[in-house]
Amino acid sequence: MYRSLLAALALLLISPVKAQQGSAAHFFVYQVNPGAQAKFEDGYRHHLSWHRSHHDPLVWYGWTVSDGKRDGYFIDANVGEPFAAFDHRVDVEQDGADFRTSVTPYVTPQAQLVYELLPQLSYGTPLENRKPSATVQVTYFDLRPGTEARFERALQTARRVLAATPSAPPHTWYRLVTGGDKPQYMLMVARANGASYDTFRKDITDLLASDQNALRDFTDAVRSSTTESWEYHADLSNLP
């Protein structure tokens, strides 16, 4: 028995430690310069290879916006890490130098946004679980100041409705920390394909239709919203 305990302890000591989970979500938005799409993609793939060769443990997802005002924009993101993870990135100086050489000539940076995952309001977290969908429906909600508590209370009701709806796809909520106008929330709805809209097309007001108090909280809180679709690119992503 003593030997068995020693063996179990040794196994724990040599086993790799699972990376710490966190709620940080960093999004970077780029407009690809006219006529530079192919060169941008080649350069971005080269930059991802730099991350792999330097054993960067951070996940990087890549999408192209496929409709809306930002059609054609490129967005990459790191999610599921503690905020402190960005304090310990792999060789920040070389990373920046390679990005400036490989990617910067072909894009115009538009935004750098930091969000916090709201797991208690979300119905599924595909990105944090490293299971990105083929496309994602993204909606931004700009709120009236001081209405955050009412808004989040309404989202708790929406989550309960989603949990009781068999056809509901994952709904992931994030709250803006820095990088834009506040208060702002972002909803990401995972979509496998266009057919998913045939099976589920309810927005938040539809989900709250049977609860007038929750619906009032939501409509009183939201000042404006906008939505767009993102197409996932596995070849422009890195999931170590």
Q: Tell me, what CATH number does 104's domain have?
A: 3.30.70.100
Q: For residue 160, is it within any domain?
A: yes
- 17 inside domain: no
- Per-residue pLDDT, 161: 98
154-178: b or e for each residue (b if 16 or more CB lie within 10 Å)? bbebbbebbeeeeebbbbbbbbbbe
Torsion over CA of 163, 218, 29 and 93, rounded to 10 degrees?
-80
Pairing label, strands 135-143, 61-65: unpaired
Q: Would 78 be classed as within a structural domain?
A: yes
- The tens digit of pLDDT for each residue in 97-132 reads 999 999 999 999 999 999 999 999 999 999 999 999
- Give the residue numbers spanning the domain of 82: 24-236
pLDDT, the chain, mean: 91
Q: Is residue 13 part of a domain?
A: no
Report if residue 232 sits inside a domain: yes
pLDDT band with cut points at 50, 70 and 90 for residue 20: very low
* pLDDT of 86: 85
145-201 residue pLDDT tens: 999 999 999 999 999 999 999 999 999 999 999 999 999 999 999 999 999 999 999
Residue 153 burial by CB count (10 A; 0-12/13-18/19+): exposed, middle or buried?
middle
Give how many domains the chain has, as a whole number. Answer: 1
In the Cβ-directed half-sphere of 75, how many Cα atoms lie within 13 Å?
Answer: 24
- Does residue 2 belong to any structural domain of this protein? no
